[in-house]
């Protein structure tokens, strides 16, 4: 998958090697000294990430998958969508 970095790391989350914590998700806050602190922040560039929040793909990953379907890369034999779908006369 060209252009993607850290394929298993969540773009938006908190904690650990994979930026994922099932108790503190994207937008999650913790209380420190009585003040809510945002810790579940989004990454700087979601266009280079595959995983959004540990569960969902990013828009960039969804587009990459769509492009592979349309250009035929995921079919056997590889058949671009414009050849796979045709009008019946």
> For the chain, what is the domain count?
1
pLDDT in tens, 56-66: 999 999 999 99
Higher pLDDT, 84 or 49: 49
Q: What is the per-residue pLDDT for 84?
A: 67
d(CA 43, CA 26): 10
For the chain, percent of residues with pLDDT exceeding 90: 78
How big is the chain, counted in residues?
89
Parent domain of 81: 1-89
The predicted pLDDT at position 80 comes to 85
Whether the Cβ atoms of residue 15 and residue 28 lie closer than 8 Å to each other: no
């Amino acid at each position: 998958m060209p252009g993607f970095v850290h394929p298993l790391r969540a773009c938006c989350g908190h904690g650990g090697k994979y930026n994922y914590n099932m108790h503190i998700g994207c937008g999650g806050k913790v209380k420190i000294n009585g003040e809510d602190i945002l810790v579940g922040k989004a990454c700087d560039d979601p266009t280079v990430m595959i995983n959004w929040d540990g569960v969902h793909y990013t828009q960039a990953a969804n587009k990459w998958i769509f492009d592979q379907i349309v250009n035929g890369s995921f079919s056997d034999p590889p058949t671009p969508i414009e050849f796979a779908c045709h009008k019946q006369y």
